Structure 1
Amino acid sequence: MKVIRASTFTAERPWGALDIANMDGITTRLHWTDQPYKWHVNDGDEVFAVLDGRVEMRYRVEGVEHSTVLETGDVFYASVGTEHVAHPIGEARILVVEREGSV
């Protein structure tokens, strides 16, 4: 049993994470960041839930870049092959559920 206070979690570096669970190869991690990640494509599906803060999620569909701002409570689903990058607007805490070892 764990209780995690996401609103107070910080990390030593951007995108630092707290491992919450590994369920048969699917990981759930809490990330803290104040810096963008990098453009990437996951080798599996990814669920990205903003628990605190705001995040501009940029993604490409057939080579065309799109953007949406995720508010606290919003969820972004990236299917296999979705190229994307997260740009926090200030500090953000994000819950990420994905295949173990994914980028």
Structure 2
Amino acid sequence: MKIIRSRSFTPSRAWGALEIANMNGITTRLHWTDQPYKWHVNDGEEVFAVLDGRVEMRYREDGIERSTVLETGDVFYASVGTEHVAHPLGAARVLVVETQGSV
């Protein structure tokens, strides 16, 4: 059993993570960041939930770059093959559920 107080989690570097669970190869991790990530495609599906802060999520559909701002409580689902990158607007904490070892 674990209780995680996400608002008090701030690692030593951007995108530092606290692994919450690994359920048969699917990880759930809490991340803190104030820096953009990098363009990537995950090895599988990804669920990205903003717990604190705001994040501009940029993604490509049919070769066209698009973006949306995710507010606290919003969830972004990246299906297999979705190229995307997260740009926090200030500091943000996000919960990421994805295949273990994914980018």
TM-score (norm 2): 0.99
1:100 matched to 2:74: no
For residue 89 of structure 1, what is the amino acid of its counterpart? L
- Equivalent residue for 1:72? 72
TM-fit CA distance, 1:62: 1.1
Aligned to 2:15: 15
Cα deviation digits, residues 14-59 of structure 1 (max 9, x gap): 0000000000000000000000000000010000000000000000
Equivalent residue pairs, number: 103
AA aligned to 2:60 is R
Deviation at 1:89, TM superposition (A): 0.4
1:50 corresponds to which residue? 50
Matched with 2:62 is: 62
Q: Aligned-pair distance for 1:8?
A: 1.2
Partner of 2:7, secondary structure, is helix
The one-letter code sitting in structure 2 at the alignment partner of 1:35 is Q
Q: Secondary structure in 1 aligned to 2:13?
A: coil
Q: What TM-score does the superposition give when structure 1 sets the normalisation length?
A: 0.99
- Stretches of structure 2 that go unaligned for 5 or more consecutive residues are none
SS in structure 1 of the partner of residue 30 of structure 2: strand
What residue identity is the alignment partner of 1:69?
Answer: V
SS at match of 1:7: helix
How far apart are the structure 1 equivalents of 2:5 and 2:71? 18
State the one-letter code of the partner of 1:96. Answer: V
RMSD: 0.3
